[in-house]
Amino acid sequence: RKEVEQDPGPFNVPEGATVAFNCTYSNSASQSFFWYRQDCRKEPKLLMSVYSSGNEDGRFTAQLNRASQYISLLIRDSKLSDSATYLCAGDKAAGNKLTFGGGTRVLVKP
Amino acid sequence: DVKVTQSSRYLVKRTGEKVFLECVQDMDHENMFWYRQDPGLGLRLIYFSYDVKMKEKGDIPEGYSVSREKKERFSLILESASTNQTSMYLCASSPQLGNQPQHFGDGTRLSIL
């Protein structure tokens, strides 16, 4: 089993709709989680850090469920520009290294 | 804003060549990382460094080496390039304080012919 797993998608989302997807992790000692956005052929860019139960930034909300060992990302009022691959990452037991999931592709369509 | 700069966006080299990929960060971060990203395999850690002259192997170090002579610079070396090293290479940095995100450079798309 991979340490961090994501549904690869794609999630096809109508513009203006809400989409949510999960990231599961196997290392129960992980303390910090991060969502990155990656556009095609570009580098991952930090979207959000999650240290406790969750975080919210505008239309983006992340929720951490430690009991079930998953982190979710919810995007409200989806924009065409939200189309990207979203990578989840978790730390290796409070260390400096991160383990990345394979990414979830989101396609927002008019 | 954190700035991580990779020396080349695109690079084409021949099998057997020694290849150098350079990465510089301007945020005085202690930690620096080299990953490769391939379709279906995601991001895989090659090497990382937590201080000058310090390095540790990641998950796929074979065929690679690294150099960290200065805090701001972390170099990835392909000793003798092979076609299976064709990939997107990403450098990242983070501060020493734990639980911090990594910040990525814009990547080097390397083709080995």
* Model confidence pLDDT, tens digit, residues B42-72: 899 999 999 999 999 999 999 999 999 999 9
Residue A60 makes CB contacts below 8 A (sequence gap 6+) with A35, A47, A48, A73, A74, A75, A76
Give the angle B50-B38-A32 at the CA atoms, nearest 5°: 45
Tokens of B93: 């940095």
Spatial CA neighbour of A28 closest among A54, A4, A10:
A4
Confidence of residue B102 (pLDDT cuts 50, 70, 90): very high
Q: Any idea which of A7-21, A71-85, B88-102 has the lowest mean pLDDT?
A: B88-102
Rounded mean pLDDT, A53-69: 94
Is residue A2 predicted with pLDDT exceeding 90? no
How much is the pLDDT for B40? 85
A49:B50 CB<8 A: no
Give the per-residue pLDDT at A93.
Answer: 64
pLDDT at B98: 75
- Residue A6: per-residue pLDDT: 95
Whether the bond into B39 is cis, omega within 30 of 0:
no
What CA–CA distance (Å, rounded) separates A68 from A25?
Answer: 9
Compute CA distances A43 → A66, B16, B47, whole Å. 28, 27, 18
**Looking at chain B, which runs of residues are DSSP E strands?**
4-6, 10-13, 19-25, 31-38, 42-51, 54-57, 64-70, 73-78, 87-94, 103-104, 108-112
If DSSP codes are grouped into helix, strand and coil, which group holds residue B101?
A: coil
Task: Evaluate if residue A94 carries a pLDDT over 60.
Answer: no
Binary contact (A100, B94; C-beta < 8 A):
no
Counting residues of chain B whose pLDDT is more than 70, the rounded percentage is 99
- Whether the per-residue pLDDT at B82 is higher than 70: the answer is yes
Separation in Å, CA of B100 to nearest CA in chain A: 7
pLDDT at A29: 87
pLDDT of res. A92: 81
Tokens at B24, concatenated: 């510089």
pLDDT at A96: 81
Mutate to test the interface with B, among A3, A96, A100, A104 (most CBs of B within 10 A): A96
CA dihedral B98, A71, B43, A107 (to 10 degrees): -140
- pLDDT value of position A52: 86
| Amino acid identity, position A83 | S
Question: Can you give the C-alpha Rg of chain B in angstroms?
Answer: 13
Closest in B98, B99, B104 to A43, CB measured: B104
Residue A95's pLDDT is 61
In percent, how much of chain B has pLDDT > 90? 90
Nearest to A86 by CA among A68, A94, A74: A74
